[in-house]
Chains A and B, each alone.
Chain A
Amino acid sequence: MMTRKAILIPPLAFILRIVLFNIPTIADTLATRVEVVTPITSFKRLTEGLYLYENSVPPYDNGIFHQAPFLLVLFSALTSLSPLAIPIVYAGVDTFIGYALVVITQMKQKNYANAPKLEVEKEMAPIDPWTVAALYLFNPLTILSCVSKSTLIFTNLSVVLSVALALKGDAIYSMFWVAIASYLSFYPAMLMPALVLIISKWTPSNNSTLVKQARASTFYFVAWLALFLISSRILVGSWDYLYSTYGTILCLTDLTPNVGMFWYFFIEMFDQFRNFFLVVFQLHAFIFVAPLCIKIREHPVFVIIVLSGMMSILKSYPSVGDAALFLGLLPVHDELFKYARYGFLVTNLYLYSAALAPIFWHLWIYAGSGNANFFYAITLVYNLGQVLLLIDLVYAVLRRSYDIANPHTIGKEVVHK
C-alpha cells in the first residue's frame, strides 16, 4: 500500500519536529506567540497549573490555567518520565494524526468508489492518501503549532480519530474520541451530528435507521462526557475546574489577543452589552451545524471539514493549530478542488496574514508605534481568507452535486435563481 516515497514521510516529519524542538530560540519564541498559542492551549500556562497540582494546591485557583484536568494528569506523568518525553509525545502525536488522515482518506475513497461521478473524473485517480498526510505534516502551520507545544494537538488528535473510527462504523469509540475532543476544548461537540451521519451512512452491518443510530450515539456521547467530567472532579477534588475551563471558553474572561474575532470586540464592548453579544457570538459558531448536516448530508466527511473550518474562525480562542486541522482535512475531498475558484486569492491572504501578523504585533507591542487596531486588522484578513475558502468549498460541493445530477447541463449556462 505504501509507496517507497510514502515510507519516508512519517520519519521525516517526526525528525523535523524533534530537531525544531531542540533549537531553543525557535521553540521558546513559538511558545509565547499569540498567533500560535492561546490562553486555553498554552504550554507555559499548563506548567503553571502542573506545578500547583503537583504541590497539592488547587490548580485552578490562579486564574492563569484554563485547561482540562486530564492534561494535568497526562503531563504530570510525562514530566516525571524524562525531559525528552514531551517533545517525543508531541512529535509522535502529530505524526499519528498524519497517519489517521491516511486512514480517513482510504476509507473515504473506498466509500465513494461506487458513488456517482463526473465523466471527467472517471479516468482520474483520486489523491494518494499519503499525499494528504504529507500535506498535513509539512504544512508550516501544523509544524508551528506542534513545536509551540500547544495542547490543541490533543484536541486535533481526538477529532481525526473520531472521524476515522466513525468511518469504520465504530460508534462507541468514535463517540469516545469526540467526547474527549469536546471535553478538551468544548467546540468539537458540534461535530457529533456529522459523525452520526457518517456512521449511519456507510456501515453495512448496521441496519438500524438514522434515528436509532442518532439516539444510540447521543447516549454514548453523553455517557462518555459524563464519565470524563466526573472523573475530572475526582482528580482535582472540586467542580471549580468547570468554570475555569469551559467558563473561560464561553464567557471569554481572558482577553489575551489571538487570531480570532472575539478579543478585540469584547475589549471594546460596553459591559451592559457583553452578555448579549457573548450569546450571539457563541451561538453563531454553532448555528451552522443543522443546515450543513441537512443540505450536505450526502457528504458527511465534508460536513466535518466545513465545521472544523467554522471552528477555526468562530471559536473564542482560535489559533493557527485550528487552521492546521482544517487545512489537513481539506485534501480528503480532493475531487472538489477543480471547482475551487479563489485558490490564488486565499493563498495570498494566508501568506499576507502570516507575514503581517508578526510585523503588526511588533509595531504594537515592541516598537510602540502601532496599536491594537493594527493586529486586529490582520486577524480580519486571516479570517477573510478562511471564510473565502469555506465559501469556495461549499460552492464546489453544491455545484459538483448539481453537475452529477444534471450531466446534460455541463458546458451550458446555468442561471442561479
Chain B
Amino acid sequence: MLLLRLKEKFARRRKPLKQRLEQRRKLIGLLRHYIPSISILLYFVGVIWLLLLPYNGYNKETYVSENALLPAQVNVYYSQNDVNIANEFRDRILEVVDKSRESRAEFIFKELRQAGFHAAIQHYTTKDESFNEAEGVNAFGIYHAPRSDGTEALLLSAPWVSRTGEYNVNGIASVLSLAKLFKRNTYWSKDIIILITDESVRGMQAWLNAYHGVDFGSNYSSDIMPRSGAIQAAINMDFPGTREYESLAIYFEGANGQLPNLDLINTVITVAKYTAQVPFTLHDNDAINRPQTPVESYLASLKHLTDTIRFQALGHPSSDAGLALRYKIDAITIHGITATGMHQPFDFHRMGILVESTFRSLNNLLEHLHQSFFFYFLTNAERYVSIGMYMPPVILFACCLVLQSLVLWYSPARDDNLKQETGASLAYSTSKKNLGACFSVLVTTHAAGLLIFYIVRPAFDFGGAIVAPNTEQVTIVKLSVSCGIAATAILMAVSLISSKQSEVQVMENWRVLKSLCLALTALIVASISLINFSLGAVMGLIVVIPYSLIQPTAKMPLRLLQAVMLTVLSPVVTLYLVATLSRSHVVNAVTVLLTDYEVVDVWLLAFMCTAYWPVNMALYTVIFA
C-alpha cells in the first residue's frame, strides 16, 4: 500500500515527457562532449599517481610477515677459522679460474665431494649469442641433511663470472667455505644444494631445467642427476674480484616481471642490518650516502622504482636468481659493490654471517613462502608499495581508453536522426555497423603480427637458406622483412576498409575501427598489467595519448604527423630508441631480445609481435581511411 502511494506521489512529481527527453538529450550531449577531455584528465591523474608512489606518504615500511622465519635471531658460527678457509679457497680458485671450463668444474666437484656433499658435474648444451650449439659445465653438490626427509631443499648458487664481468672469486670462495660450515652443523631440516654455474644465465637455466626434468640433453659425471626435494628458496652470491666490499646490493626481478616473495628480501635485509651489519641497497645504487632532504629521498626512491620498472617491462631477469622464480623458487641475488672510498668495507666474515643467518631463517620455514606479498614495488630496501596503491593508475589508463571507445561506438555517423526525434526514443535501433570490414582489418594485422613473430624467432632460418644463423646481417634482414610485412598489412587493411564504399560508410567505419582498437588496447594494458605491471604501465604511458588523438583528417601534414607518431610507437622504432638510449646498437638489442626469448623464455617478443604491433598497424588504417 505504502509503496504504491509513494510511487504515485513520485509519478505526479515527474516532469512532462517532452521536458524529460530534452533533459536526457542534453545530458547525453554533454557526456559526449566532455568524455574525451575527462578521459585525458584520467590519464594525467594516472601519471601523477605513478609519480606519487616514491613519495614516503604513499609507501609503507616492510615487515617480516612469516612468523617462522625469525630473521637475525640465531647465533652464527661462521668464525675466523671459516674466514681462513675462505681465504685459502680464494687462492686456489685464482689458480683455476683462467683454465678450461672442464677443469674449473672439476675443481668445484672435488672440493664439494671432499666437504661431504653428493656432488656431480653437469655437461649441458645450449645456444650461444649467434644461436649455435654451445656447451657448458655446471658443478653442484647436495647435502642430504640428517634431519630432512629429502622433500625440501635450499639452494645456494654462484656463477663463475660476476655481473660486473670480473670472475666471481670471492663469491665462490665464500660459498665453498659455507658449504663446509653447513656440513659441520646438524640442525638442518632441509637439504642444501650448492651450485656453481658456468656462463651465468645459460648455466643456471640449464641446471634448473635439468633439476626439474624439463630437458634430458645433459650428461652427468654420475649415472643420473643427484636430486633433492622441492627447492624452497635460493640465494645467488655475486661477489666479484678479490677485494673488499662497501655495500650489499640486492637484485630480485625475475623473468617476465615476476617477483620473489617479499619475505625473502625482508629476511636478507633484516639479517644484513642486525646480524651482519653491512650497508645495503637495491640494484647498483648508492648505499652509503643516505638521502638527507625529502627531495633527495624522493629522487632516490624514484630511481629504485624506475630500475625495477625497466627490468620488469623488458621481462629481463635482473640476475641469475630471476630464472628460478618460474619454478616457484623464491630467489634473489646478493651482490657486493666493491669498496672504493674510505667507508668501512666488509669481507668474508660478514658475507658468511649474512648467508648463514639467512639460511638458518629459511631452514625454519614450515611451508613455502606465501605469507608476504608477491606483488609489490620497492622504493628502497625497507619500503614497499603494495598492489592496492600502484594498480589504480593502470586501471585509469584502461578506463580512459574504454570511455573513448564507448563514445565512438555509440556516436552515429550522422547526428540528424537524433535531432529529428520528437517522441521517446525507439526501443530498438535499426542502424547497422559495418563490423565485417573492421574485423577483417584486425584479423589482417594480427595475422601479420603472427607471421612476423614466426620470422623473427631465432629458430627460423628462412628454410635453411642461411647457413650461419643470426649474424648481424640476418638480424637486419629479419627486421626489414618484418617492416615489409607490417607495411603490406597496413596497405591491405586500408584497401579493405575504404574500397567500394560510400563516404558516409567510411566515416562510420573509422569510428568503429578506432573504437575497437581502443577497447583492444585497454584490454591489453589491463590484462598484461596483472602479470607484469611495469609492462602494462609503460605501454599505457606511451600509447594512451597518441592513440586517443588519432583520427582521419583532410589535411595532409596532420595525417603525416599522425603517421610519424604511430611509426615512432611501432616496435621496431621503439626498439631502436631503447637501444640508442642505452648506448647500444639495435642489432644488439634484438640479440638480447631473442636470447631472452630463446634461453630464458621471456614473452616480450611474442607480446610485441602478436598483441602490441597489430593494434599499432590497425590504427594506421584509421588515419588513411
Across the interface, which residues of B come within 8 angstroms of A367, CB to CB? 258, 325-326, 328, 374, 531
In the complex, 20 of the A-B residue pairs with CB atoms within 8 angstroms, ordered by the A residue number, are A118-B428, A120-B428, A120-B430, A352-B523, A355-B524, A359-B531, A366-B326, A366-B328, A368-B328, A368-B368, A369-B258, A370-B374, A403-B427, A410-B426, A410-B427, A411-B423, A411-B426, A412-B424, A413-B17, A413-B423
Across the interface, which residues of B come within 8 angstroms of A411, CB to CB? 423-424, 426
Q: A344-B409, A368-B328, A411-B424 are in contact. Are A338 and B530 (CB under 8 A)?
A: no
Does B375 sit within 8 A of A, measured CB to CB? Answer: yes
Does B543 sit within 8 A of A, measured CB to CB? Answer: no
Does B519 sit within 8 A of A, measured CB to CB? Answer: yes
Does A233 sit within 8 A of B, measured CB to CB? Answer: no
Across the interface, which residues of B come within 8 angstroms of A344, CB to CB? 406, 409-410
Q: Is the interface of A mostly helix, strand, loop or mixed?
A: helix
Does B527 sit within 8 A of A, measured CB to CB? Answer: yes
Query: Can you list, as one digit per residue, whether each of A376-405 has a CB less than 8 Å from chain B (1) or not (0)?
Result: 000000000000000000000001100100
Does B526 sit within 8 A of A, measured CB to CB? Answer: yes
Identify which of residues 310-347 in chain B touch chain A, using a CB-to-CB cut-off of 8 Å. Answer: 325-326, 328
Query: Within the assembled complex, what's the spacing in Å between the Cα atoms of A38 and B410?
Result: 38
Query: Within the assembled complex, what's the spacing in Å between the Cα atoms of A370 and B430?
Result: 45
Across the interface, which residues of A come within 8 angstroms of B410, CB to CB? 344
Query: Can you list, as one digit per residue, whether each of A405-417 has a CB less than 8 Å from chain B (1) or not (0)?
Result: 0000011111000
Across the interface, which residues of A come within 8 angstroms of B402, CB to CB? 348
Taking residues whose C-beta sits less than 8 angstroms from the other chain, chain B's interface range is 20 to 34
- With most chain B CB atoms within 10 A of its CB, the pick from A344, A368, A403 is A368
Interchain nearest-CB distance for B463 vs A (Å): 18
Across the interface, which residues of A come within 8 angstroms of B473, CB to CB? none
Q: Are B523 and A351 in contact (CB under 8 A)?
A: yes
Q: Are B430 and A363 in contact (CB under 8 A)?
A: no
Q: A339-B428, A369-B258 are in contact. Are A359 and B530 (CB under 8 A)?
A: yes
Query: Can you list, as one digit per residue, whether each of A109-134 has a CB less than 8 Å from chain B (1) or not (0)?
Result: 00000000010100010000000000
Query: Can you list, as one digit per residue, whether each of B516-554 has a CB less than 8 Å from chain A (1) or not (0)?
Result: 000100011011001100000000000000000000000
Across the interface, which residues of A come within 8 angstroms of B527, CB to CB? 352, 355-356, 359
Across the interface, which residues of B come within 8 angstroms of A403, CB to CB? 427-428
Across the interface, which residues of B come within 8 angstroms of A352, CB to CB? 523, 526-527
Does A187 sit within 8 A of B, measured CB to CB? Answer: no
Across the interface, which residues of B come within 8 angstroms of A351, CB to CB? 519, 523
> In the complex, what residue of chain B is closest to A395 when comparing beta carbons?
B427
Across the interface, which residues of B come within 8 angstroms of A412, CB to CB? 423-424
Chain B interface residues (CB < 8 Å from chain A) = 17, 258-259, 325-326, 328, 368, 370, 374-375, 402, 406, 409-410, 423-424, 426-430, 519, 523-524, 526-527, 530-531
Interchain nearest-CB distance for A220 vs B (Å): 39
Q: A359-B530, A369-B374 are in contact. Are A338 and B428 (CB under 8 A)?
A: yes
Across the interface, which residues of A come within 8 angstroms of B328, CB to CB? 366-368
Query: Within the assembled complex, what's the spacing in Å between the Cα atoms of A198 and B195?
Result: 72
Across the interface, which residues of B come within 8 angstroms of A356, CB to CB? 527, 530
Across the interface, which residues of B come within 8 angstroms of A366, CB to CB? 326, 328
How many residues on chain A are close to B (CB under 8 Å)?
28
Query: Within the assembled complex, what's the spacing in Å between the Cα atoms of A363 and B531?
Result: 7
Does A262 sit within 8 A of B, measured CB to CB? Answer: no
Query: Can you list, as one digit per residue, whether each of A342-369 has a CB less than 8 Å from chain B (1) or not (0)?
Result: 0010001001100110011011001111
Query: Within the assembled complex, what's the spacing in Å between the Cα atoms of A413 and B427?
Result: 9
Which of A348, A360, A410 is B519 in contact with, Cβ under 8 Å? A348
Q: Are A399 and B258 in contact (CB under 8 A)?
A: no
Query: Can you list, as one digit per residue, whether each of A176-220 has a CB less than 8 Å from chain B (1) or not (0)?
Result: 000000000000000000000000000000000000000000000
> In the complex, what residue of chain A is closest to B431 when comparing beta carbons?
A338
Interchain nearest-CB distance for A196 vs B (Å): 31
Which of A355, A359, A368, A399 is B427 in contact with, Cβ under 8 Å? A399
Which of A368, A369, A413 is B375 in contact with, Cβ under 8 Å? A369
Q: Are B428 and A400 in contact (CB under 8 A)?
A: yes
Query: Within the assembled complex, what's the spacing in Å between the Cα atoms of A414 and B368?
Result: 61
> In the complex, what residue of chain A is closest to B329 when comparing beta carbons?
A368
Query: Can you list, as one digit per residue, whether each of A318-349 has a CB less than 8 Å from chain B (1) or not (0)?
Result: 00000000000000000000110000100010
Q: Are B427 and A339 in contact (CB under 8 A)?
A: yes
Which of B370, B374, B424, B530 is A413 in contact with, Cβ under 8 Å? B424
Which of A362, A399, A400 is B531 in contact with, Cβ under 8 Å? A362
> In the complex, what residue of chain B is closest to A356 when comparing beta carbons?
B527
18 additional contacts (CB under 8 A) given A359-B530, A411-B426 = A120-B430, A124-B430, A338-B429, A339-B428, A344-B409, A344-B410, A352-B527, A356-B527, A359-B531, A360-B530, A363-B531, A367-B258, A367-B325, A367-B531, A368-B328, A368-B374, A399-B428, A413-B423
- With most chain B CB atoms within 10 A of its CB, the pick from A355, A356, A360, A366 is A355
Across the interface, which residues of B come within 8 angstroms of A410, CB to CB? 426-427
Interchain nearest-CB distance for A268 vs B (Å): 19
Across the interface, which residues of B come within 8 angstroms of A355, CB to CB? 523-524, 527
Query: Within the assembled complex, what's the spacing in Å between the Cα atoms of A298 and B199?
Result: 74
Across the interface, which residues of A come within 8 angstroms of B258, CB to CB? 367, 369
Query: Within the assembled complex, what's the spacing in Å between the Cα atoms of A362 and B409?
Result: 33
The 5 A-B residue pairs with the shortest CB-CB distance in the complex, in nearest-first order: A369-B374, A338-B428, A413-B424, A411-B423, A355-B527
